[in-house]
Amino acid sequence: MPIQWNEIKTAIFDLDGTLYEDTHHFEYYAALLEEKLDKNDRNSFRKDYENMLKGKHPVAVGRVYDAVRDRVLEVDPETNRVINTWDWEGKPVTKEEEYKEPITFDFDSMIAIGDGWWLPVAAAKHYGVQSTYDAYHKTKEFMQTEAFQFTEQPERRKALKQLRDHMKLILITNSQADDVKRLLDTLDLNGIFHEVIANAKKPVHTEEHFKKIIETEEILPNEAVSLGDNYLNDIVPAENLGMNAVLIDPQGCTTTRGHTECVQSLTDLFPTIKKLQHTSF
């Protein structure tokens, strides 16, 4: 069912992969993680990561990597129960080793592969890297330099400003507050969002954030929409609460539930946003 945009009162945005969709920083991140490996493992890491990007590896966006057991999981988004399990090579794991209880995501041992940031992380942890934060931080710093250039989207600020005229805009991101400020500066999006929630620890706390927003804004769940590129982080919690959602899915290969629309890019929504100029809220 299409989203009734004239009934939406609050739009909740993700940052990385949503407000900008460049991907070349993932290659930079992967290279930094590769440097942390033993030289004997680097070729294997590179081959695995390239296969992930080609869809030829069990680790894929939408799945979960258990770094403790070195297992790749497919999880029911409604119950968090594991429905399929593979080893690193893609061989199905026997029933005796299946997970019996719903899993809980964290950012270290049970990793939701929600977007391109997490593919090289899974590969790095498979080959023994303990901490990836330093490489992530360096990548974020690189994204603020002249050597890194975002793809220009001159219509982005205008479209979001038009949307702001009709509803409250909230940004929820796992990025740290200082990174968020720099990115919004770079993207020319300062002053667009009524509220910014950084270090949000999605997906663990996504529903908690959404529930608080719904309560604070005194709206119904179907009067809110979550927009993001990470199905597990941004869309599943919205679907579970009965909210609307827009999944940024360039490959168009994710199966969604509830009031969820799939678009290849945020720019696909710009024509709809422009029509809201003539709508009274």
Q: Is the pLDDT of residue 252 over 80?
A: no
Over residues 24-45, mean pLDDT: 96
- DSSP class of residue 20 equals B
CA–CA gap between residue 111 and residue 259 (Å, rounded): 26
Task: Give the pLDDT of residue 149.
Answer: 84
DSSP conformational letter for 107: S
Most confidently modeled range among 81-85, 193-197, 245-249: 193-197
pLDDT at 33: 98
Q: Is 89 helix (H, G, I), strand (E, B) or coil?
A: coil
Helix axes 24-35, 133-142, angle to 10 degrees: 140
Per DSSP (E only), the strands in the chain are 10-13, 64-66, 71-75, 82-86, 110-112, 168-172, 195-197, 224-228, 244-248, 259-263
Question: What's the pLDDT at 145?
Answer: 85
Q: Which residues, in sequence order, are CB contacts of 128 under 8 Å at separation 6+? A: 37, 38, 41
b (16+ CB within 10 A) / e for 235-268: bbbbbbbebbbbbbbeeeeeebebbbbbbeebee
Which token pair is 255? Answer: 């199966």
**C-alpha 147: how far from its chain's center?**
24
Report the pLDDT averaged over residues 214-224. 97
Helix-, strand-, coil-residue percentages of the chain, each rounded to 5: 40, 15, 45
Give percent of the chain with pLDDT exceeding 90: 64
pLDDT tens-digit profile of 105-119?
888 999 988 788 999
Whether 266 and 156 have beta carbons less than 8 Å apart is answered as yes
What is the pLDDT, as a whole number, of residue 277?
56
**Cβ-contact 164, 192 below 8 angstroms:** yes
pLDDT grade for 59, boundaries at 50, 70 and 90 = very high
pLDDT in tens, 124-142: 999 999 999 999 999 988 9
pLDDT band at 85 (very low <50, low <70, confident <90, very high): very high
Q: What is the pLDDT of residue 255?
A: 66
Is residue 28 scored above 90 in pLDDT?
A: yes
Radius of gyration of the chain (CA): 19
pTM for the model? 0.82
Sequence-separated (6 or more) residues with CB below 8 Å from residue 88: 58, 70, 72, 126
pLDDT at 280: 44
Mean pLDDT to the nearest integer, 21-36:
94
pLDDT digits (tens, 9 = 90+) for 185-213: 989 999 999 999 999 988 889 999 999 99
